[in-house]
A and B are shown apart, each in its own frame.
Chain A
């Protein structure tokens, strides 16, 4: 097993009058593909927000290795307010996430970074199309490209495939898996879609209202699958 990039230790997160989870333990290694599954309201997004340090845990912690600064995030959120009048081209949308230097214009190196991620995500032909006019699948690819343009070492996908048809789902995750294998990108994939998790993930974390289950994806049992699918 490679080195861990993050470890969750006895994590407890509470909201006023409501405990989301406690004593949560798992770790994520370099190049690992982890699926976080569980029914609605069980705290999947809360866990992600805690990892992103937007929420403070009530107890326990999230440790990063070798240190917090060494771990960079790419995040594709569940919802995005992009309507059909959204004016920016896919290319300009992707470059929004470049923030290494604060000059108003993009440096040559940054333009190369954008070119590279557009090529890797097969968006060359539509890179100048307004994002508002792109299809659902193209939008998700653009979000993925934006999340990856600064070459993070941890990618978090929050229900990113929920609104996609079957073909696009697999196309998007094939792409993610490719980055995962080629660049040793670690992936946390939050989903309801168990077949997808089983096809792509190395390990799973099943969140339940009062407990959790963590292990290799092959250990995700029929009963677990039924539990999530019944929701």
Chain B
């Protein structure tokens, strides 16, 4: 399996993706941003389609769209009451745009499937380097804002009282989320971002009760998912995304079961 270059690329890229997904996911879960993450993945699809239309690498289009829109969504969603409606509106618009760009670029339907559900075979050495660079960027920014982001995510009221720069932190986090969505989409595709960015962290919180512990468990769950998915995909020739989604869902249901037993 490792004699094939694309499999080696896939393993390296997915390892980094699992690490940043586990870390960012813990904050996504704490900040109740699963729905917004899903929207960003749809925007990512649109961005990738725009990239194809412009003859850019899809990742670049994705980065452009998710970064710009994360800031706009953040501004629109300040008021909790209209958050869901405005996110729905934006996601519909971007899904529509994605279909438009794909149609204009005259690419066939399999290209759309690749963007939506991921294409592990399509990852080349340059993509791997890009994934590593973006992951490193996310990790460095997280390291700088970690304490304040942790406080704001797990106790927003306390952080506000403390006088932390909560508005700026929200925007920084949205940009980090946009970066992570674009990176994770390389493996699981934009429709299954949920699988890596929310499920491991949502499962981890039932097993451990510290922020760092949740990150470690979420990273491990994401790693088992992507590595297991790649191996099973290689053996069966079935889509890798299917296996990753199944493994992460299994973890999540097991976590819910464990929580019920404990209570």
Contacts and interface: CB of A to CB of B under 8 A. Distances in A.
A210 interface: no
A81 B158 contact: no
B209 A97 contact: no
A160 to B, nearest CB: 13
A88 B214 CA distance: 9
B157 A99 contact: no
Interface in B111-165: 143-144, 146-148, 150-151, 154-159, 161-164
A101 B143 CA distance: 13
B86 to A, nearest CB: 21
Contacts of A73: 161
19 contacts: A75-B161, A77-B157, A79-B157, A85-B205, A87-B30, A87-B214, A88-B210, A92-B154, A92-B210, A93-B154, A93-B155, A96-B154, A97-B151, A102-B144, A102-B146, A102-B148, A128-B209, A129-B209, A146-B155
Interface string B25-43: 0000010000000000000
The B interface, classified by DSSP as helix, strand, loop or mixed, is: helix
A87 B205 contact: yes
A59 interface: no
B162 A130 contact: no
Contacts of B144: 102
Interface in B186-235: 205-206, 209-212, 214
Nearest to B209: A89
Given A52-B161, A88-B209, A102 B154 contact: no
A93 B156 CA distance: 12
Interface of A: 52-53, 73, 75, 77, 79-81, 85, 87-89, 91-93, 96-99, 102-105, 128-130, 146
Q: How large is the interface on B (under 10, 10 to 19, 20 to 34, 35 or more residues)?
A: 20 to 34
A104 B143 contact: yes
Contact of B148 (A80, A88, A99, A105): A99
B146 A104 contact: yes
Contacts of B206: 87
Contacts of A87: 30, 205-206, 209, 214
Q: Which of B144, B155, B211 counts the most chain A CB atoms within 10 A? A: B155
Contacts of A96: 150-151, 154-155, 158-159
Nearest to A77: B157
Nearest to A98: B147
A92 B211 contact: yes
Contacts of B211: 88, 92
Contacts of B30: 87
B164 to A, nearest CB: 8
A80 B157 contact: yes
A102 B150 CA distance: 11
Contact of A102 (B147, B155, B158, B163): B147
Contacts of A75: 161
B94 to A, nearest CB: 30
Nearest to A52: B161
A85 B147 CA distance: 22
B155 A80 contact: yes
B151 A99 contact: yes
Given A80-B155, A87-B214, A128-B209, A99 B147 contact: yes
Given A53-B163, A96-B154, A97-B158, 20 more contacts: A75-B161, A77-B157, A77-B158, A79-B157, A80-B155, A81-B156, A87-B205, A88-B209, A88-B211, A91-B210, A92-B210, A92-B211, A93-B154, A96-B158, A97-B151, A99-B147, A104-B146, A104-B147, A128-B209, A129-B209
A214 B42 CA distance: 59
B75 to A, nearest CB: 22
Given A89-B209, A92-B210, A104-B147, A97 B154 contact: no
Contacts of A52: 161
A137 B155 CA distance: 18
B221 to A, nearest CB: 15
Nearest to A99: B147
Contacts of B210: 88-89, 91-92
